[in-house]
Amino acid sequence: MRRKEKRLLQAVALVLAALVLLPNVGLWALYRERQPDGTPGGSGAAVVPAAGQGSHSRQKKTFFLGDGQKLKDWHDKDSIRRDAQRVGNGEQGRPYPMTDAERVDQAYRENGFNIYVSDKISLNRSLPDIRHPNCNSKRYLETLPNTSIIIPFHNEGWSSLLRTVHSVLNRSPPELVAEIVLVDDFSDREHLKKPLEDYMALFPSVRILRTKKREGLIRTRMLGASVATGDVITFLDSHCEANVNWLPPLLDRIARNRKTIVCPMIDVIDHDDFRYETQAGDAMRGAFDWEMYYKRIPIPPELQKADPSDPFESPVMAGGLFAVDRKWFWELGGYDPGLEIWGGEQYEISFKVWMCGGRMEDIPCSRVGHIYRKYVPYKVPAGVSLARVFTFTWREDIRPGDPQHTKKFCFDAISHTSPVTLYDCHSMKGNQLWKYRKDKTLYHPVSGSCMDCSESDHRIFMNTCNPSSVTQQWLFEHTNSTVLEKFNRN
């Protein structure tokens, strides 16, 4: 009887030991499954065992992060307190009360957002802390890699560019910012020349580089990356505002796994009144449709993290704002330098990361605001287009699609203000008849109006013809003016 009991006990002990210690079975594997990159704790301190816990040396080594590195609270409490006391235009991310004089078209012309309003708001304005409350108690590695912050710009507004830089300087631990590299993509606006150099001379960590010709954002980012000295490179757009404690949560994930590319949550700075708001829904991840349009789609409940403030995987990034280990970026080959102006680069880098054994994450505790423009203010040189190649057939209807024009649906509009939709081609002219006019508008004889596009909500719609409106200008490539004239006469 006793011997049996002893055997039983021995067997139980053996099974327990196997469960705890053997790799790829039992608790060990369970534990690793919960931590896909093999780094316990996500970005928080939650599951790091205290020193001395667990007697097995192998277990100890794996469980202790970064060779037993300590974690710390990176919040800059003083600056948070100072920010909370600020009052004035746009402070706390509130909407600026616009007057009729500021509501005019002219205010948007050069930047695609209201520069009059931007100019009225402090370069050091405060933002609301809209992070998940759990972010307040998250601790990150005490020793983090530093980063070069690369900001490409092309004809950016003065106050929007400077506010980007100020927000980074105000809300980043100085020891983590190796440098801020402003890369001018051949701007021609005066304020971006000597005045910018004089201004930035006051900030020793800021450098200005310039391209020798218009390169587009991809090669401009690459130029910045090529001179960067930081352990990590962080890309931002030239009209952003970094929010509270945005940087440590990004660098922490890279420190734990250098092949992780991380993106902050991108908040919306309104292009009219500069109010600062979250995008609809945080539990969303990057995706794209068959036309390569980037979109955010909800994360299925079973894949959502128990703590919504924890980092989560994202298949594709939005594009402009992310941090990456500098060497890993170059191991990935950087961006394809053949990419023009903008668009598509987010897929290229995203696919490479996943295919080369890296991962990509969105970091809810890191938030950066971005001004989503009303329309694209700068010229995109003819012949180079964006992510989507959009070809039009040479006929009286317009068939979007592949170069062989095999598609059988046409642009169709029913009234002078209706949306432009895709409908089966009927070859009966009428609603599907369009004229390619010399002033680069697309005229719709049936309604007597022109095709217009809304940058803010991605719609194509009919509008009163206004050839001076940039949103009614379409690029016609390889047109034959004789044929075009004959076509428009008939």
Give the residues lining the site for Mn ion (CB under 5 A).
Answer: 237
Instruction: Out of 102, 231, 237, 270, name the contact with ligand UDP by CB under 6 A.
Output: 237
Take residue 232 and report the two structure tokens written for it: 């990590």
Instruction: Out of 342, 392, 411, 443, name the contact with ligand UDP by CB under 6 A.
Output: 342
Nearest one of 310, 261, 260 to 282, comparing CA atoms: 310
Take residue 268 and report the two structure tokens written for it: 């919306």
Partner in contact with 437, chosen from ligand UDP, Mn ion, none, beta carbon below 5 to 8 Å by kind? none
Between CA 450 and CA 442 the distance in angstroms is 6
Is residue 156 near ligand UDP by the rule CB under 6 A? yes
Is residue 219 near ligand UDP by the rule CB under 6 A? no
Partner in contact with 247, chosen from Mn ion, ligand UDP, none, beta carbon below 5 to 8 Å by kind? none
What's phi and psi for 445, nearest 5 deg? -55, -35
- Quick one: 31 or 378, whose CB is closer to ligand UDP? 378
The answer to whether 262 and 363 are in contact (CB under 8 A) is: yes
- R_g of the chain, CA atoms, integer Å: 27
- Quick one: 56 or 109, whose CB is closer to ligand UDP? 109
Is residue 220 near ligand UDP by the rule CB under 6 A? yes
For residue 22, the one-letter residue type is: L
Partner in contact with 94, chosen from ligand UDP, Mn ion, none, beta carbon below 5 to 8 Å by kind? none
Pairing status of strand 276-277 against strand 359-371:
unpaired
Is residue 216 near ligand UDP by the rule CB under 6 A? yes
- Quick one: 199 or 409, whose CB is closer to ligand UDP? 199
The answer to whether 286 and 296 are in contact (CB under 8 A) is: yes
Pairing status of strand 232-235 against strand 147-153:
parallel
Is residue 238 near ligand UDP by the rule CB under 6 A? yes
Instruction: Out of 144, 176, 217, 323, name the contact with ligand UDP by CB under 6 A.
Output: 217
Is residue 102 near ligand UDP by the rule CB under 6 A? no
- Quick one: 349 or 465, whose CB is closer to Mn ion? 349
Instruction: Out of 341, 349, 365, 425, name the contact with ligand UDP by CB under 6 A.
Output: 341
Is residue 189 near ligand UDP by the rule CB under 6 A? no
Is residue 179 near ligand UDP by the rule CB under 6 A? no
Under DSSP, is residue 175 helix (H, G, I), strand (E, B) or coil? helix
Under DSSP, is residue 167 helix (H, G, I), strand (E, B) or coil? helix
Between CA 29 and CA 23 the distance in angstroms is 7
What count of Cα atoms within 13 Å lies in the side-chain half-sphere of residue 316? 18
Is residue 153 near ligand UDP by the rule CB under 6 A? yes
Q: Give me the least distance between CB of 156 and ligand UDP, in Å please.
A: 5
Between CA 400 and CA 385 the distance in angstroms is 14
Partner in contact with 114, chosen from ligand UDP, Mn ion, none, beta carbon below 5 to 8 Å by kind? none
Contacts of 482 (CB under 8 A, 6+ apart): none
Nearest one of 395, 466, 460, 483 to 432, comparing CA atoms: 395
Nearest one of 273, 260, 268, 334 to 296, comparing CA atoms: 268
Instruction: Out of 32, 373, 405, 416, name the contact with ligand UDP by CB under 6 A.
Output: 373
Take residue 10 and report the two structure tokens written for it: 């021995």
Is residue 263 near ligand UDP by the rule CB under 6 A? no
Is residue 335 near ligand UDP by the rule CB under 6 A? no
Nearest one of 152, 315, 287, 294 to 218, comparing CA atoms: 152
- Quick one: 258 or 373, whose CB is closer to ligand UDP? 373
For residue 56, the one-letter residue type is: H
- Quick one: 216 or 364, whose CB is closer to ligand UDP? 216
- Quick one: 152 or 248, whose CB is closer to ligand UDP? 152
CB atoms within 10 A of CB 427: 10
Is residue 320 near ligand UDP by the rule CB under 6 A? yes
Q: Give me the least distance between CB of 342 and ligand UDP, in Å please.
A: 5
- Quick one: 77 or 212, whose CB is closer to ligand UDP? 212
Between CA 71 and CA 84 the distance in angstroms is 26
Per CB under 6 A, the segment of 96-104, 147-155, 171-179, 296-304 that binds ligand UDP is: 147-155
- Binding residues (CB under 6 A) for ligand UDP: these are 152-154, 156, 185, 216-217, 220, 237-238, 320, 341-342, 373, 378
